[in-house]
Structures are given as structure tokens and as C-alpha cells.
Chain A
Amino acid sequence: MNFVTIEYLLFLVAVFVIYWHLKRTAQNVFLLGANWFFYCFWDYRFLSLVMATATIDFIVGRKIDASDDPRVRRNWLLLSLGYNLSALFYFKYCNFFIDSFVTMANGLGWSVSQPLLNIILPAGISFFTFQSLSYSFDIYRREIKPTRSYVEYAAFVSFFPHMVAGPIVRAREFLYQIEVERHFSGKMFEAGLVRFIYGMLKKALIADTLGLYVVDPIFADPSAHSPATLWLGMLAYMVQIYADFSGYTNMAIGSAMMIGFILPENFRYPYLATNISDFWRRWHMTMSRFFRDYIYISLGGNRAGEWKGYRNALLTTLVSGLWHGANWTFVVWGLMHGVFTVVYQYYSRHFKAFQRPGQPVRVLLSWLLTHFLVGIAFVIFRAPDFGVAGEYIAGMFVGQGVQTVELSGLIGVCFLLFVADHVYGWAQERELAWASWSHPLLRGAFYAVALVFLFNFVPKEANPFIYFQF
């Protein structure tokens, strides 16, 4: 059940109406049922996997908490880790590693046949396994106490707004909300509704239009397109993936707010970043936070010295790349970001003289360089393989292609909306007065026009959310 469908809207309205007519305990049971119903719409075959994940980590959490013996606690944590990572590995990476091994073996001259398994990727597995895993980790680190209610825990793991594509919510951010009485708040409903509409505008209009009319045709045959078109394609993809994922996040956060839950933010105007570390503080923030807390810091972070800190950063981004999908292009994308981050950290540590504040030209150059590198990395992320990626990047500089794409007014509107979104973010961050000014009539008119605009201009052949595949 895609968020941009009439089915989801009807589902959300039904959940909203029934949910607020129930008492807290019944609300939680109902929510769990709604979550499972929602997941069944995606793929009922894997509901048992979601249930098993919730059940195992619920038991593990209680066992870890009940023991003071470090060995026992560690063993229970290993069980949780083993189960979640095995499930993730089997469903997401099994074919990838078999395929890579066979390719490598054949490259070395060994004759190995390819026993590819017919494995289907369960929707949202990268998200719900990580969320459940964070619960065991946090209890192990004594940062939270385990919940007593299985219903509440299972409702957290499978909470429908964030289940399939995040944001990655930690148990400590959610469980306290589900354990207490929830009261309808008009302000929260209003904020949620507005977030939802705005998210829909980003996803269904900006992302789908650019994807369908600019990005997909260009990436389908990069060598045929002119260098200027390839640059445009890269920019369009940067906007598409941002609008797609942050649009989804807005809809997820908005849906949750309407039924009284606060989910963490996932994006903070990432293309305002002026360096690569800043970019990762703004892009897919809940994933960055997860990898920072559970991998980077577990590896020792930057406490073990400068070079080990670089190694840890590199490893963390590498894993983050692999998390995105079972393809070497994602691994290289992660590795590139690791290298960018390490170079930036080295630069900021050793070239402080160049970083005095109040240098607008330096900031502008830094901003341009950051997003040029992010864009190039996104080309590799988007390309189906390295051949296409190489062709694309080479074509941007020395391409001989002449084909262009037809630029309609609608594409211009999409770029304009994206720029307006970031300019608004820029003004908000600087606390400019006009950024906080909004007359209710003006806002109402904007959202009403957005609704009608969406209805008329959303491409019929809409793409699924990009992050659903992860």
C-alpha cells in the first residue's frame, strides 16, 4: 500500500477514526492489527518474519535486562544480532555474495557454476530489523528498560508509517509514547496533515515528474545524450532522490502525528550543506545516527587516534553503502562518501588556517565542491552497473552525444519548488523573520492549490518510492 494511493488514504482515515474512539490498551491492540494489515498489503508472506523479529527481540530484551552476568547478557545480544543479521543477509545479500563469489572465482580461472536462489526481498527488512536490533543494543547498554508489553513492542517494530522505508526509529524514541495515554491534539493533527500534503507534493509531483521525464530517459542511454543534458540529469536525480525520500518521510511523520506519535526528522535541507560531514548531518539523519551509534562508536570512533578514526569512518560509510542494496555500485557509493569524509576530516584538522569564518567565496566553493562530489556519487548510486556509471560520468566531460530531453513547464515548476523548499530552509536556519511569517489563509490557499495541482499533474506512471527497494 503505497502512501500516494487512494487505498492508503482510505486506510489512514479509517485508522484515524477508529483509533481515536478507543481506550489506550485497545488503541495499541488496534494499532498492531492495523500495522500487520498494512504490511500484508505489501507482502503477506513475510508477515511471519516481522512477527518473528518482534518476538525474538522482545524476549531477548527481557533476558538481557534480567541478568547481571555480562557473559549471559552478551550471549543474548549475540542471539539478537545473529538472528537479525542472518535474516537480513539471507534475504538481501545471499544472491549478491554468491554472484560476486562466482564472478571472482571464474575470473581467477576456476570453473564455478552459479546456484542462484530464488529469494524475494521482504518489504522494509532493512528498516524493521535495524529498529528491532537497536532495542536489544540499547537494553544491553542499559540505556533503556525493556517494555513489558509484547503488543506495544510489536506495534513499535511494525508501526505502519515508518515500517517500509523509515525513518529508522529507536525504541527509546517510540516506546515511551506508546506506553502512555494519548490525547488528540488539534495542533498536532494540523501539523501532521500539513506535513502529509507537503510530502505528497514532493513525492508525487517533484520526484515522479523528474524521474519519469528527465532522469529515467537520460540514464537509460547516457552515451546518446549531450554533456549538458547529462549534467541536467545528475541535478535532476539529486532533486528526485531528495524529494522522493524526504517526501516519503514527511508523509510518514505526518501520518504518525495524526494519530499522536512523534517520529524523528530524517532530512534537514541537505543541499544547504557546505561540507560532506554537514551533508551527512542533514541527509537520512536517522540512518547516519544509527551507523554512528552502533558501528562507528562501537569500533572506537575517533577516540583511538586520528588514523583509526579515519578507518572507522571509512568502514561505517562502506557498511552504509552496502545497507542500501546488494549491488557493488552501492558499496562504491558508500566508499566514495567514506573517502570524501576522511579527506574532509583531515583537511579540517590540519588546514585550520583556511577555515576562518566570514569567507563567503570559500563557503560558496566548498558548497559547490560538496554537491559536485555528492552528485557524482549519486550517478554511481543510480546507475544499474559500473559500465553505465562510467559512460555517464565520462559523457559529462567529454561526451559526444547530442540527444536532449524535452523540458516542459512542469519540469521547471518542479525545480522551482525544490529551490523554494531549500531557500525556505536556508531562511529558517538563519531565523529570518519572513521564514516564520505565514498567514493561515495563505497557507490554506497554498495547500489547496497543491492538492488540485497534484490531482492534475501527477504522472500516471508513478514510480514506487526509491527507498522501498532498500
Chain B
Amino acid sequence: MLVFPKDIYRFFATLPTSSPPVFYTLLCWMLLELGAAFVLPSVLDDAHYFSGYVQDKARVSTARFLRGENANIPDPDSGWRNKPNVQLHDWVIDRFGSRSSRPLDLQHKSTPYRAVFFGSSMVNGGEGVTNQQTISAGIESGQVESFNFASMAFSIDQSLLLYRTLADRLQADDVIVGLDADPVEGLYNHYIPLKLREEVGVPYLKPRFALEKDGQLRLIPMDLQWLAQLDQPAAFLDFLRQNDGYYSRLRDYARCDFTPLAHGLCWLHNKAESSLAYMQGAARASDPLLEAVVRRFDAEVKQRNGRLVVMVLPSERMFHWRGVWKYFPDIYALRVQALQAQGVTVLDVRALFRASGKGADELFAADHHHFSAVGNRVVADGLRKQLAR
């Protein structure tokens, strides 16, 4: 059944003579690969690559953002926040920038008890659910009112910074912050497209904290004006080079994104790296910067006689954690343990989901990322019990 096709081996072994066009195609291709991956990046500066790295749609979105035409507006403290008085179909933001389920007044409590939510679109709810189907709406009753300041692509450091600017007016009994499936990435990032080039909807700039040797957090502020100067990014790139943990993505882009072989090799390298990272799940689950930010958040909320509740939000994969994944460290469980060890109140959303007996189809939205209205309801029910304690 099997044969040894010596003709093929001979053909490829003697390619320069057996097929000069194929040989020269390969040769020229390899030269182009070398030129694009090694020669050009050493000749051209980063600004040159940056102009191609930032996609056109991201530039348009940035310009709209700076003009105040997006659903988020620039915020010098947290980078951005929800634009007040916006309605996009079922997505309604009130005059305070909160996605509330009913008209509320920040200055005057309408109920004895007030909860205030922070986080990303996972907490905000996104466009997949109505204002009445969010987690924050789910905990409301005659005794409880809630504000939802969660905003797209927010990381927990931004939640803390936004909380600081609002804290004096909040009168919050509980501050509830959602932690996404990977809450660490955002903490080391300033310019969102460096972390994720495809993020053209929220290509914004944020401040971040650095963890000093003495364990103290140091805020690294940013200048939103840099977003208006994407065509002359020298100063911006200097700042990012020094402070953004994802600056190497721009260098990777320069080396890997222009030729197919380099792109394939980089893709394989990244896959191997992320697999290794999963295998080292314990290290990823416990991040000193994340824990320091959570501790600081908790301390600042306590100063105002409130309580911080950290909702750990699972991805669909984390919810199942089956198949090949069960052989890797359970990052979600490790993260919950690591946060509990910080002395903060932690809501294990995966445990709530599993206890609900519902499947992922019901709990997650069609995008397999955000929670559905049913998922939000399960979280809200669990949260209500937590708040009652």
C-alpha cells in the first residue's frame, strides 16, 4: 500500500536544478522574510510601525471619543467613563453615567441601602441585556437601590480611580466590583491597542498603578492629549516604551506581521507561550499587583464605612473547565483563593452558576463571553444573599 516516492525527494533535494522557478520563489521569499523581520525593524523607527499598527477604525473611534461622540467620554482620572444621558436601544445611561434600572438621585438615597457597581462590560451588561436585566438591577428591591458605573473594557485599577472621583457623593453601603476572566492583563497596560490590536471600539488610554519595592502602589498618570497626536507619536511612544507592559507587541508587529512565515512562527511561539502560561496557572492566578490594588480598594471603601465585594466572573471555558483543560491548573479556583487570602469579600460566581443547574447556553450570551439575562439573574440572587449577611 505504501511506496517511497523517491522522485519527490529527489525533486526537492535538487530544487535549484529540478525547478529553478520554485527554487527562486522560495529563495526570494526567504530573503523578503529576512528583510521584513530583521533588516527593516532595525532601520525604521517605532513611530513608522505605529502608524500601521493603529488600525483605521481605531483612529476613527479615537477621534469620535475625543469629540465626545462615543458612548464613553474622556476622563483624566480613569481614562474614560460612561457618557451621561445616552440611549442606544436597550442600553441606557443616566445623567450620572450609571446604567441604572430606574431614575435615581446620587445625592439622595431612595432606599435604606445602596450598592454601587464597578467593572467592565461584564458588569455593565452590554447591549445583550436591558437595564432591567443587569446584575445591578437584579439586586434591587424596596430596601436596596443600585448604581452601575461599569464601563467597557474597564480593568480594576480604573474602577478604583473612578471610585475615588465619585466616592464623596456615593454614600455606598457596598461597593461591588467585577473581576473579568483575565483581570491581570489590564493592570500592566496603558494603551488598549497595545494589549489587543483588534480592539477598535475602545482604543483608549488609561492610567495604571506600579507596585513599588516597598509594596506601595504608585500611580502612573497619562495625558489624554496623546490620543489626539497619533500621527506624531514620539512622546507618546516614549511614555509607552517606559510604562506599558505590552509595548513589545509593537515590536512583534514590526517583526511578525508583514510576511507569512514570520507571522506563522510568531503565532506558534505565542501559542506555546500561552499554553505554558496556562500550565503555570498558579503563578497567573496570584498577581501581586492585582492583590495590592484589591487591598487598596478594600481599604478605601472601608474608610468610608462601606464594604468591598469582589465578584470573580468566569469565562465560559472557566465555567466548564473540562476536556483537556481539566489537566491544567484551575486558574479560576486559584484566583478565588488568592483573593480570599487578602481578607476581602469574594463572590464565587462560578460556584453560583454551577449550583444553579443551568447550562452555559442559558447562562452566557450568544457571544459566549458576556452573561445572559439568566446568568445575571443567578449572580444577582447570589449577591443578594451575600449582601444580606
Contacts and interface: CB of A to CB of B under 8 A. Distances in A.
B28 A444 contact: yes
Interface in B13-50: 18-29, 31-32, 36
Contact of A448 (B4, B19, B29): B29
A456 B4 CA distance: 38
A455 B11 contact: no
A448 B28 contact: yes
B21 A452 contact: no
B260 A21 contact: no
B260 A440 contact: no
Nearest to B18: A186
B258 A455 contact: yes
A231 B31 CA distance: 42
Interface in B189-203: none
A184 interface: yes
A190 B36 contact: no
A24 to B, nearest CB: 9
Contact of A193 (B22, B24, B29, B263): B22
A104 interface: no
Contact of B1 (A23, A183, A189): A23
Contacts of B345: none
Given A444-B21, A444-B23, A452-B259, A21 B28 contact: no
A453 to B, nearest CB: 10
Interface string A161-198: 00000000000000000000001111101100110010
Contacts of A420: none
A452 B19 contact: no
Contacts of B18: 186
A439 to B, nearest CB: 9
B375 to A, nearest CB: 31
Helix, strand, loop or mixed for chain A's interface?
Answer: helix
Nearest to B257: A456
Contacts of B357: none
B21 A443 contact: yes
Interface in A439-462: 440-441, 443-445, 447-449, 451-452, 455-456
A180 to B, nearest CB: 15
B8 A184 contact: yes
A186 B11 contact: yes
Contacts of B11: 184, 186, 189
Interface in A10-67: 20-23, 26
Contacts of A20: 5, 8
Contacts of A186: 7, 11, 18-19
Interface residues of A, number: 27
A200 to B, nearest CB: 12
Nearest to B55: A460
Contacts of B88: none
Contacts of B388: none
A443 B24 contact: yes
B191 to A, nearest CB: 22
A22 B2 contact: yes
B9 to A, nearest CB: 10
Contacts of B24: 440-441, 443-445, 448
B328 to A, nearest CB: 26
A320 to B, nearest CB: 37
A456 B260 CA distance: 9
A194 B22 CA distance: 8
B258 to A, nearest CB: 6
A440 B23 contact: yes
Contact of A184 (B7, B19, B28): B7
A382 to B, nearest CB: 27
B22 A21 contact: no
Contacts of B21: 190, 194, 440, 443-444, 447
B355 interface: no
A21 B5 contact: yes
B305 to A, nearest CB: 52
Contact of A452 (B1, B7, B29): B29
Interface in A96-144: none
Nearest to B258: A456
B12 to A, nearest CB: 9
Nearest to A448: B28
Contacts of A190: 19, 21-22
B324 interface: no
B258 A452 contact: yes
Contacts of B2: 21-23, 26
A437 to B, nearest CB: 13
A440 B29 CA distance: 14
Contacts of B259: 452, 455
Contacts of A183: 7
15 contacts: A21-B5, A26-B2, A184-B8, A186-B11, A186-B19, A194-B21, A197-B25, A441-B28, A444-B21, A447-B21, A448-B26, A448-B27, A448-B29, A452-B32, A456-B258
Given A441-B28, A448-B25, 15 more contacts: A22-B2, A186-B7, A187-B19, A189-B11, A440-B23, A441-B20, A443-B21, A443-B24, A444-B23, A445-B28, A448-B31, A449-B28, A451-B25, A452-B29, A455-B260
Q: Shortest 9 CB-CB distances between A and B: which pairs?
A: A444-B24, A448-B28, A440-B20, A448-B29, A444-B25, A186-B11, A447-B25, A184-B7, A20-B5
